[in-house]
């Protein structure tokens, strides 16, 4: 059990609550309710494999930087509690699991799997050469609702794009806030973020613009698909939580970044999922 806990800590398994509810929201809307148990099972398996693969790759390629950062120096790959060989094995196994789940869902999912695989792994290298790495992370998580939609329909359609954009803007916005913790370390190590490029005040302004766009795109998504009052009520709650999240962080006071990151963002994704379920099953 101790070893399992180390692997769960390695990939921050608790953070799965961020993207998974959005994928399930997309799945439910695409199906107009619950799809088959087969589809649900393979979507869940794909999500777990995709996130585990991406996080494991991040821990492998960033082990040198993690060792220099007090916030990340206790990660299992740094301390040796999980060896790099074991991490590579986990990465390979979950990469295979992602492709297997895509193949079991439908041919379109399998065709699109290689570029998705590249995005999910490529994010971890972006901080070395671009300050806009936050948007790449947003894209990686934003692919989750797109993939879930295709898993249900077997087709590439425009309908889920606003939801994908909303996730991308939302994730990029909170990742900018999260990067405030590492400003000095990133400067020392030569790593890029909007915080190191433009300074904390301007970076926070970009974060707020991205979160405003998140709400606007969620509204557009609901209008496009003619969703009901429960959904729009959920979007209203999301807007309030985003406002609270932004109010907790400033350039001068970064002490609540961790609370804003975990609690507020978990509440956002779960709120929209619950609102969508109410809209589909009880409206």
pLDDT digits over 231-258, tens only?
999 999 999 999 999 998 888 887 778 7
Q: State how far the Cα of 97 lies from the Cα of 95, in Å rounded to an integer.
A: 5
Based on the number of CB atoms within 10 Å of its own CB, is 164 exposed (0-12), middle (13-18) or buried (19 or more)? buried
Q: How far lies 105's CA from each of 38, 44, 54, 109, 196, in Å?
A: 8, 11, 21, 7, 42
User: How is residue 272 annotated by DSSP?
Assistant: H
Residue 251 in tokens: 């350039």
pLDDT at residue 8, as a whole number: 57
Containing H/E element for 168?
helix 161-179
Give all domains of the chain, ordered by start, each with its CATH number: 2-282 (1.10.357.140)
- Each residue's pLDDT tens digit in the chain (283 positions)? 666 666 555 656 555 667 889 999 999 999 999 999 999 999 999 999 999 999 999 999 999 999 999 988 988 888 888 889 999 999 999 999 999 999 999 999 999 999 999 999 999 999 999 999 999 999 999 999 999 999 999 999 999 999 999 999 999 999 999 999 899 999 999 999 999 999 999 999 999 999 999 999 999 999 999 999 999 999 999 999 999 999 988 888 877 787 766 778 888 999 999 999 999 998 7
Q: Which residue, 127, 217, 211, is CA-closest to 170?
A: 211
pLDDT at residue 271, as a whole number: 95
pLDDT at residue 225, as a whole number: 94
Residue 114 contacts residue 102 (beta carbons within 8 Å) = no
Give the CA count within 13 Å in the CB-facing half-sphere of 13.
9
Give CA angle at 127 (122, 10), nearest 5°: 70
Residue 21 in tokens: 């509810």
Residue 230 contacts residue 282 (beta carbons within 8 Å) = yes
Residue 88 contacts residue 95 (beta carbons within 8 Å) = no
pLDDT at residue 207, as a whole number: 96
pLDDT at residue 283, as a whole number: 72
Q: Which residue, 164, 174, 112, is CA-closest to 140?
A: 164
Cβ-proximal residues to 49 (8 Å cutoff; 6+ apart), any chain:
94, 95, 97, 98, 101
């Amino acid at each position: 059990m101790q070893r399992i806990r180390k692997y769960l800590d390695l990939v921050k398994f608790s953070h799965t609550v961020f993207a998974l509810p959005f994928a399930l929201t997309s799945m439910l809307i695409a199906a107009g309710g619950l799809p088959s148990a087969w589809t649900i099972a393979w979507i869940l398996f794909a999500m777990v494999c995709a996130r585990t693969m991406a996080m494991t790759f991040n821990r492998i390629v960033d082990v040198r930087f993690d060792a220099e950062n007090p916030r990340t120096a206790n990660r299992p790959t740094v301390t040796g509690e999980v060896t790099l060989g074991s991490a590579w094995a986990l990465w390979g196994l979950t990469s295979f699991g992602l492709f297997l789940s895509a193949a079991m869902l439908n041919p379109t999912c399998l065709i699109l799997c290689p570029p998705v695989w590249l995005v999910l792994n490529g994010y971890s290298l972006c901080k070395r050469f671009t300050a806009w790495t936050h948007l790449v992370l947003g894209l990686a998580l934003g692919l989750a609702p797109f993939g879930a939609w295709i898993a249900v329909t077997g087709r590439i359609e425009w309908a889920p794009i606003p939801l994908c954009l909303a996730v991308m803007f939302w994730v990029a916005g909170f990742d900018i806030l999260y990067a405030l913790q590492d400003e000095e370390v990133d400067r020392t190590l030569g790593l890029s973020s909007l915080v190191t490029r433009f300074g904390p005040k301007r970076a926070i302004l970009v974060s707020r613009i991205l979160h405003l766009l998140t709400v606007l795109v969620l509204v557009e998504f609901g209008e496009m698909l003619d969703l009901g009052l429960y959904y729009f009520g959920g979007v209203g709650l999301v807007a309030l939580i985003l406002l609270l999240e932004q109010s907790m962080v400033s350039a001068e006071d970064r002490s609540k970044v961790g609370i804003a990151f975990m609690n507020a963002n978990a509440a956002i994704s779960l709120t929209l999922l619950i609102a969508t379920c109410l809209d589909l099953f009880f409206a």
